[in-house]
A = this chain, B = another copy of it.
Amino acid sequence: MGDGARHIPEATVSRLPVYLRSLAELLDDNVPTVSSERLAEMAGVNAAKVRKDLSYLGSYGTRGVGYEVEYLAFQMSRELGLTRDWPVAIMGAGNLGQALANYGGFTDRGFPVACLIDADESKVGTRIHGIPVYAPADLPGLVQELGISIGIIATPATVAQAVADHVVASGIKSILNFAPTVINVPEGTFLRKVDLALELQVLSFYQEHRTPDRV
């Protein structure tokens, strides 16, 4: 981790996981090298942007050959902090929290779900998909004990802000918000939002502009 990495623009950081996913597909297919054009196509951006983004990692490729897939994937994983695990706490053990706890894609990629937190006393002390459910008051201790670094908000929108406040007060510095509402966090806390409806809007664009005979 060089100091230089701090200066990677946020938009570039947001694209690194998309590139990494494309590289993983290439690795699966045993493809040894990739051009910026091909990687751009896979990631849905233009080739000049790919070259610019990768230059922030110190990767410039080789003219006529492109980038070595395996090495680039390693560099990118290291930049993204994926060479270690980041335990997460899922706030809310309702359907969404349970679905996330059972989502195969987290643990596989370095985000083991350490615990579920729920205010419902009938759930506290049980296990859901093998993951223990604790009360909100237990969170600060769990953060210390299990090294939890990311809190995922999977509660109803109405309580999302209060839950986020509790996550921050418990010592967690990164929050991923799935609740369909805007939440605010103090400076020094990283917040990202997953908006499950965004992709539907992309699909409706194509439906709107394609369908010759509307239903």
| Chain A interface residues (CB < 8 Å from chain B) | 1, 5-6, 10-11, 13-14, 16-18, 20-21, 25, 44-46, 79-82, 86, 88, 94-96, 98-100, 102-106, 108-111, 147, 149-150, 157, 173-174, 176, 180, 182, 190, 192-211, 215
Closest CB in chain B relative to A178 CB, distance in Å: 9
Inside 8 A of A203's CB, which chain B residues have their CB? 86, 150, 174, 176, 190, 192
A165 vs B144: C-alpha distance in the bound complex, in angstroms?
A: 46
Asked whether, in the complex, the Cβ of A149 is within 8 Å of the Cβ of B201, the reply is no
Inside 8 A of A201's CB, which chain B residues have their CB? 16-17, 20, 80, 82, 109
A207 vs B21: C-alpha distance in the bound complex, in angstroms?
A: 20
A103 vs B190: C-alpha distance in the bound complex, in angstroms?
A: 24
Closest CB in chain B relative to A185 CB, distance in Å: 12
29 contacts between A and B (CB under 8 A): A14-B202, A16-B202, A16-B205, A17-B198, A18-B198, A21-B195, A80-B201, A81-B207, A82-B204, A86-B207, A88-B200, A95-B96, A95-B98, A96-B99, A96-B103, A100-B196, A103-B197, A104-B157, A104-B180, A105-B180, A106-B196, A106-B197, A108-B180, A109-B201, A150-B200, A173-B211, A176-B200, A194-B196, A194-B199
Asked whether, in the complex, the Cβ of B204 is within 8 Å of the Cβ of A176, the reply is no
Contact A149-B95, Cβ < 8 Å, known A14-B44, A206-B13: no
